[in-house]
Amino acid sequence: MVSIEGVKFQYDAAGPVLSFPNFSCAQGDRMLLLGNSGAGKTTLLHLLCGLLTPTSGRLTVGSKSLHTSTDRELDRWRGAEVGVIFQQAHFVQSLTVRENLALPHQLTTGRIPEDLEAKMDDMLDRLGIGHRAGARPHELSVGEQQRASIARALLHKPKVMFADEPTSALDDESAAAVMDILDREAADATLVVVTHDQRLKDRYAACVTLNPQRP
Protein backbone atom coordinates (compact mmCIF):
# COMPACT_ATOMS: atom_id res chain seq x y z
CA MET A 1 0.00 0.00 0.00
CA VAL A 2 0.92 3.63 -0.45
CA SER A 3 -0.29 6.25 1.97
CA ILE A 4 0.59 9.88 2.47
CA GLU A 5 -0.82 12.10 5.14
CA GLY A 6 -0.07 15.77 5.68
CA VAL A 7 3.18 15.57 3.75
CA LYS A 8 5.03 18.82 3.24
CA PHE A 9 8.42 19.34 1.69
CA GLN A 10 10.84 22.23 1.40
CA TYR A 11 14.03 22.04 -0.69
CA ASP A 12 15.76 24.68 1.38
CA ALA A 13 14.89 26.89 4.29
CA ALA A 14 14.35 29.95 2.11
CA GLY A 15 12.36 28.09 -0.54
CA PRO A 16 8.61 27.52 -0.81
CA VAL A 17 6.93 24.74 1.17
CA LEU A 18 5.25 22.17 -1.08
CA SER A 19 2.11 20.63 0.38
CA PHE A 20 0.72 17.39 -1.02
CA PRO A 21 -2.85 16.04 -0.82
CA ASN A 22 -3.54 13.07 1.37
CA PHE A 23 -4.25 9.80 -0.43
CA SER A 24 -3.82 6.09 -0.06
CA CYS A 25 -3.72 3.13 -2.36
CA ALA A 26 -4.08 -0.56 -1.40
CA GLN A 27 -1.64 -3.33 -2.29
CA GLY A 28 -2.04 -4.36 -5.94
CA ASP A 29 -4.02 -1.21 -6.89
CA ARG A 30 -3.20 1.24 -9.63
CA MET A 31 -3.09 4.95 -9.13
CA LEU A 32 -2.46 7.95 -11.31
CA LEU A 33 -0.85 11.11 -9.91
CA LEU A 34 -1.71 13.73 -12.48
CA GLY A 35 -0.32 17.22 -12.54
CA ASN A 36 1.01 19.92 -14.74
CA SER A 37 4.57 21.03 -14.89
CA GLY A 38 5.68 22.54 -11.57
CA ALA A 39 2.96 20.73 -9.59
CA GLY A 40 5.58 18.79 -7.68
CA LYS A 41 5.09 15.42 -9.41
CA THR A 42 8.77 14.47 -9.48
CA THR A 43 9.25 15.76 -5.93
CA LEU A 44 6.39 13.54 -4.77
CA LEU A 45 7.79 10.57 -6.67
CA HIS A 46 11.18 11.08 -5.03
CA LEU A 47 9.47 11.35 -1.64
CA LEU A 48 7.63 8.09 -2.33
CA CYS A 49 10.91 6.40 -3.29
CA GLY A 50 12.64 7.65 -0.15
CA LEU A 51 15.05 9.76 -2.18
CA LEU A 52 13.79 12.88 -0.36
CA THR A 53 12.74 13.15 3.25
CA PRO A 54 9.45 15.00 3.98
CA THR A 55 9.70 18.12 6.09
CA SER A 56 6.60 16.93 7.93
CA GLY A 57 3.80 14.39 7.61
CA ARG A 58 3.56 10.63 7.38
CA LEU A 59 4.57 8.66 4.33
CA THR A 60 4.15 4.89 4.18
CA VAL A 61 4.97 2.67 1.24
CA GLY A 62 4.42 -1.06 1.62
CA SER A 63 5.68 -1.97 5.06
CA LYS A 64 8.03 0.97 5.31
CA SER A 65 7.39 4.23 7.14
CA LEU A 66 9.64 6.44 5.05
CA HIS A 67 9.57 9.43 7.37
CA THR A 68 11.18 7.43 10.19
CA SER A 69 13.63 5.25 8.22
CA THR A 70 17.37 5.70 8.02
CA ASP A 71 19.20 6.14 4.70
CA ARG A 72 20.68 2.64 4.99
CA GLU A 73 17.24 1.09 5.57
CA LEU A 74 15.84 3.03 2.62
CA ASP A 75 18.70 1.86 0.34
CA ARG A 76 17.94 -1.77 1.17
CA TRP A 77 14.19 -1.27 0.94
CA ARG A 78 14.43 0.31 -2.51
CA GLY A 79 16.55 -2.56 -3.76
CA ALA A 80 14.23 -5.21 -2.36
CA GLU A 81 10.70 -3.86 -2.67
CA VAL A 82 10.60 -0.95 -5.07
CA GLY A 83 10.79 -0.67 -8.84
CA VAL A 84 11.24 2.73 -10.45
CA ILE A 85 10.88 3.70 -14.09
CA PHE A 86 12.31 7.13 -14.66
CA GLN A 87 11.15 9.59 -17.29
CA GLN A 88 14.52 9.27 -18.98
CA ALA A 89 15.85 5.75 -18.93
CA HIS A 90 19.15 5.67 -17.04
CA PHE A 91 21.58 2.79 -17.45
CA VAL A 92 25.12 1.94 -16.49
CA GLN A 93 26.64 2.52 -19.90
CA SER A 94 29.60 0.18 -19.48
CA LEU A 95 27.31 -2.82 -18.86
CA THR A 96 25.14 -4.70 -21.34
CA VAL A 97 21.34 -4.61 -21.15
CA ARG A 98 21.39 -8.05 -19.53
CA GLU A 99 23.94 -6.91 -16.91
CA ASN A 100 21.97 -3.74 -16.24
CA LEU A 101 18.93 -5.86 -15.53
CA ALA A 102 20.92 -8.02 -13.10
CA LEU A 103 22.50 -5.05 -11.32
CA PRO A 104 19.69 -4.45 -8.77
CA HIS A 105 20.08 -8.05 -7.54
CA GLN A 106 23.82 -7.63 -7.24
CA LEU A 107 23.48 -4.34 -5.38
CA THR A 108 20.80 -5.62 -3.03
CA THR A 109 21.99 -9.13 -2.24
CA GLY A 110 25.62 -9.11 -3.40
CA ARG A 111 24.94 -12.00 -5.79
CA ILE A 112 22.97 -12.96 -8.87
CA PRO A 113 20.62 -15.94 -8.52
CA GLU A 114 21.24 -18.80 -10.92
CA ASP A 115 17.70 -18.71 -12.32
CA LEU A 116 17.80 -14.95 -12.97
CA GLU A 117 19.16 -15.22 -16.49
CA ALA A 118 16.27 -17.44 -17.60
CA LYS A 119 13.76 -15.04 -16.01
CA MET A 120 15.54 -12.13 -17.65
CA ASP A 121 15.44 -13.70 -21.11
CA ASP A 122 11.78 -14.51 -20.64
CA MET A 123 10.99 -10.95 -19.55
CA LEU A 124 12.97 -9.37 -22.41
CA ASP A 125 11.26 -11.68 -24.91
CA ARG A 126 7.85 -10.69 -23.58
CA LEU A 127 8.80 -7.03 -23.99
CA GLY A 128 10.03 -7.71 -27.52
CA ILE A 129 13.70 -6.85 -26.92
CA GLY A 130 15.11 -10.32 -26.27
CA HIS A 131 17.46 -9.87 -29.22
CA ARG A 132 18.98 -6.75 -27.61
CA ALA A 133 20.07 -8.43 -24.37
CA GLY A 134 23.77 -8.29 -25.23
CA ALA A 135 23.69 -4.73 -26.54
CA ARG A 136 25.02 -1.68 -24.72
CA PRO A 137 22.36 0.80 -23.58
CA HIS A 138 23.47 3.50 -26.04
CA GLU A 139 22.88 1.07 -28.91
CA LEU A 140 19.14 0.87 -28.10
CA SER A 141 16.42 3.11 -29.49
CA VAL A 142 14.47 5.30 -27.06
CA GLY A 143 11.57 2.82 -27.14
CA GLU A 144 13.88 -0.12 -26.49
CA GLN A 145 15.52 1.76 -23.62
CA GLN A 146 12.07 2.40 -22.12
CA ARG A 147 11.23 -1.30 -22.31
CA ALA A 148 14.60 -2.34 -20.90
CA SER A 149 14.02 0.08 -18.04
CA ILE A 150 10.59 -1.48 -17.38
CA ALA A 151 12.15 -4.96 -17.46
CA ARG A 152 14.79 -3.91 -14.94
CA ALA A 153 12.21 -2.39 -12.58
CA LEU A 154 10.05 -5.51 -12.71
CA LEU A 155 12.61 -8.28 -12.69
CA HIS A 156 12.99 -8.51 -8.93
CA LYS A 157 9.20 -8.58 -8.49
CA PRO A 158 8.80 -5.34 -6.54
CA LYS A 159 5.86 -4.79 -4.22
CA VAL A 160 5.54 -1.22 -5.42
CA MET A 161 6.21 0.19 -8.87
CA PHE A 162 6.67 3.89 -9.53
CA ALA A 163 6.64 5.17 -13.09
CA ASP A 164 7.61 8.76 -13.84
CA GLU A 165 6.13 10.05 -17.12
CA PRO A 166 6.40 6.64 -18.80
CA THR A 167 4.54 7.82 -21.91
CA SER A 168 5.54 11.45 -22.27
CA ALA A 169 7.81 10.91 -25.27
CA LEU A 170 5.64 8.33 -27.01
CA ASP A 171 2.92 8.48 -29.65
CA ASP A 172 -0.58 7.23 -28.83
CA GLU A 173 0.04 3.70 -29.99
CA SER A 174 3.36 3.31 -28.22
CA ALA A 175 2.00 4.97 -25.08
CA ALA A 176 -0.88 2.49 -24.94
CA ALA A 177 1.53 -0.40 -25.56
CA VAL A 178 3.83 0.70 -22.71
CA MET A 179 0.93 1.07 -20.28
CA ASP A 180 -0.38 -2.35 -21.29
CA ILE A 181 3.03 -3.84 -20.60
CA LEU A 182 3.15 -2.14 -17.20
CA ASP A 183 -0.31 -3.34 -16.25
CA ARG A 184 0.45 -6.85 -17.39
CA GLU A 185 3.94 -7.27 -15.95
CA ALA A 186 3.27 -5.45 -12.68
CA ALA A 187 -0.01 -7.27 -12.08
CA ASP A 188 0.88 -8.21 -8.49
CA ALA A 189 2.45 -4.92 -7.54
CA THR A 190 0.99 -1.59 -6.50
CA LEU A 191 1.50 0.69 -9.48
CA VAL A 192 1.77 4.45 -9.11
CA VAL A 193 2.10 6.40 -12.35
CA VAL A 194 3.16 10.03 -12.12
CA THR A 195 2.36 11.97 -15.27
CA HIS A 196 1.05 15.10 -16.91
CA ASP A 197 -0.10 13.03 -19.91
CA GLN A 198 -3.84 13.70 -20.17
CA ARG A 199 -4.23 10.59 -22.35
CA LEU A 200 -3.87 8.52 -19.18
CA LYS A 201 -6.34 10.40 -16.97
CA ASP A 202 -9.14 7.86 -17.46
CA ARG A 203 -6.99 4.78 -17.39
CA TYR A 204 -7.28 4.11 -13.64
CA ALA A 205 -10.15 4.69 -11.26
CA ALA A 206 -7.81 6.14 -8.64
CA CYS A 207 -6.47 9.45 -9.77
CA VAL A 208 -5.09 12.25 -7.66
CA THR A 209 -4.56 15.58 -9.28
CA LEU A 210 -1.63 17.55 -7.96
CA ASN A 211 -1.87 21.31 -7.84
CA PRO A 212 0.82 23.61 -6.59
CA GLN A 213 -0.19 24.14 -2.95
CA ARG A 214 1.83 26.62 -1.04
CA PRO A 215 0.37 27.55 2.34
Contact characters 52-71, another protein, x per CB under 8 A: x------------------x
- Looking at 106, 141, 168, 209, which residue binds another protein (CB under 8 A)? 106
84 binds another protein (CB under 8 A): yes
The C-alpha atoms of residue 210 and residue 191 are separated, in whole angstroms, by: 17
73 binds another protein (CB under 8 A): no
- Looking at 5, 29, 99, 183, which residue binds another protein (CB under 8 A)? 99
Q: How far is the CB of 162 from another protein (least distance, A)?
A: 10
The C-alpha atoms of residue 148 and residue 50 are separated, in whole angstroms, by: 23
- Looking at 15, 94, 198, 215, which residue binds another protein (CB under 8 A)? 94
Query: Phi, psi (5° rounding) for residue 75?
Result: -60, -50
* Contact yes or no for 161/188 (Cβ under 8 A): no
Q: How far is the CB of 202 from another protein (least distance, A)?
A: 28
Nearest by Cα to 105 from 117, 93, 88 = 117
- Nearer residue to another protein within complex by CB, 26 or 107: 107
214 binds another protein (CB under 8 A): no
Residue by residue, DSSP assigns 47-79 as: HHTTSS--SEEEEEETTEEGGG--HHHHHHHHH
98 binds another protein (CB under 8 A): yes
